Chain A
């Protein structure tokens, strides 16, 4: 149902552009056609994203109805309740109403940002999530920035010296990192750099984002940065290999292109051919893949935050699983999924803006 709406606008946009280019090669018309095409494309993508988010909401509703036993008991686990309280709670949760009505209620509440109440924390789930968002954004943002920079840089160098020592080394490294479970890498780093090995003392804190005696003012930033190092390194190690591999293969594709040969034939220096001609083109597909792998980053964040007790969304999710605190689990699950879908859609549209070849195809 949704796919036709997604596919349709792409066709007309492409043909409109083709007609504009063929009939009247005036820059204005071409540009306007492209702009309209882009908006259509973005709208189609937005529709697709909304459908995906809708599917997440529906899936969440039915998934969490699969919990064996009485949901009211499951959600309030470990909180002793009298039968009267349970009846009241069932009414509050809407469990006494028919399923379609419950579903509608759930959807409306989710749309309003009401994700229910955690009985473990005795607070609204949305509030808990809001609190934990900051640390996660800090960790993921820093990690991504480092991973992307490092991955793209190394990937480009590996591809340029294809088959060389750096290339073999980085291919091997990325293969190995892919085989290493994130949490184990985290444990190893903890063991070596936080607990210390033999005579070497631990130089980084073992857990959390700040200590009880955290300093104020500008020193606080340093304090947090000190705590951030190990989680960040772990997260970078997980995702950076992906970017490296993508950039490497993308640049390898470009190296064989005619325009690179032309650039060389013009007498440009090697570094310049790479920096000004090949790399910008190779970056395009990489940009999307960076965002497409955001799901991987989210997974990395969950495990990394667990290992280092980093007070973010991932740790909240883990604690909810361990509880189990189904209200928090449900809310975090939806927020994580929606975040990934939004990032993916952004990537699609961004790619469309950046790469004219896709627009006309």
Chain B
């Protein structure tokens, strides 16, 4: 047993060594650590009462000042405070919907790769259908029909964004199942469940990890777009802040402090996830190494 743990620790150390060599991946990871820490520490350090429209203390649409480092919004709330609390909503929805999307994608992908014949054909047909449809449009309709709320938004994003993952996982499953040791396992009496969970899943897991990182990036963009188009989770997120800035004419009146910070936060976090995902891909998929 200790032998296995030692090997795992060694593997992890090697992974970290290789990841560290990816400079852009390290930048991405650094940004993410800051963002996640900010999201986690916000409730400990700040008072959420400042988010309440009726209890806002600042002047309306005031430019940045000492008391309000990033200015205020249309009802006098601190933009900085909203950004900090909004990070929790944006990150949470991003993570959860990416998780949902990965679970659906992995299950569909492995099933479609494992069972040949008509089940696979039907599953891939559905996958292709989801792949073709405009994700955002479908998610908007889902969110509008099911009504607001965090879980609805998570569901809307997760259900519409799994198709490309499923394709990727299926291709990898086909490759893994063609290996001799899977055949050996089958000959020895390993059932479908055994093959899928013991042999295929561990082999596709690294791919899933790298892909999830990229999916979170996409999910955060989708969340902000949905919120901007009116389908928000009921709490202030970066996307719904931008909605507010648009509705209250911050764009045309030159209130840059209301427009720039939320957008820059989205871009920074999404870029960070993308950089991490690409670095993970390079580390986990040796074929990509040496190719830029």
Contacts and interface: CB of A to CB of B under 8 A. Distances in A.
* Interface-centre pick from B136, B147, B253, B262 (highest chain A CB count, 10 A): B136
A1 B122 CA distance: 7
Contacts of B259: 184, 187-188, 191
Given A181-B263, A299-B134, A324 B274 contact: no
B133 A163 contact: no
A183 B274 contact: no
A187 B245 contact: yes
A69 to B, nearest CB: 10
Interface SS of A by simple majority: helix
B242 to A, nearest CB: 6
A61 interface: no
Contacts of B142: 63
Interface stretch (B36-44, B72-80, B173-181, B225-233): B225-233
Given A63-B141, A298-B134, A298-B137, A303 B124 contact: no
A197 B266 CA distance: 23
A178 B274 contact: yes
Contacts of B27: none
Interface SS of B by simple majority: helix
Interface in B16-50: none
B240 to A, nearest CB: 12
A59 to B, nearest CB: 9
A243 interface: no
A197 B254 contact: yes
Contacts of A303: 136, 225, 228-229
* Interface-centre pick from A68, A194, A195 (highest chain B CB count, 10 A): A195
Interface stretch (A31-39, A122-130, A271-279, A334-342): A334-342
Interface in A320-354: 321-322, 324, 329, 333, 336-337, 340-341, 344
A190 interface: yes
A321 B125 contact: no
Contacts of A196: 254
Interface in B204-251: 217, 221, 224-225, 228-231, 239, 242, 245-246, 251
Contacts of A66: 145-146
A183 B228 contact: yes
Nearest to A202: B252
B252 A337 contact: no
B151 interface: no
Contact of B263 (A162, A184, A299): A184
B256 A191 contact: yes
A54 to B, nearest CB: 10
A119 interface: no
Interface string A170-195: 01000110111111100110110011
Contacts of A3: 121-122, 124-125
Contacts of A361: none
A162 B136 CA distance: 34
12 contacts: A2-B125, A68-B147, A175-B271, A179-B217, A179-B270, A187-B246, A191-B256, A195-B254, A299-B136, A302-B140, A318-B230, A321-B231
Interface of A: 1-4, 51-52, 55-56, 63-64, 66-68, 162-163, 171, 175-176, 178-184, 187-188, 190-191, 194-197, 206, 295-296, 298-299, 302-303, 306-307, 317-318, 321-322, 324, 329, 333, 336-337, 340-341, 344
List the 10 closest A-B pairs by CB distance, nearest first. A3-B121, A184-B263, A179-B270, A299-B136, A295-B134, A179-B271, A195-B252, A298-B134, A183-B228, A321-B144
Given A183-B242, A303-B229, 5 more contacts: A184-B266, A191-B256, A295-B134, A299-B136, A318-B230
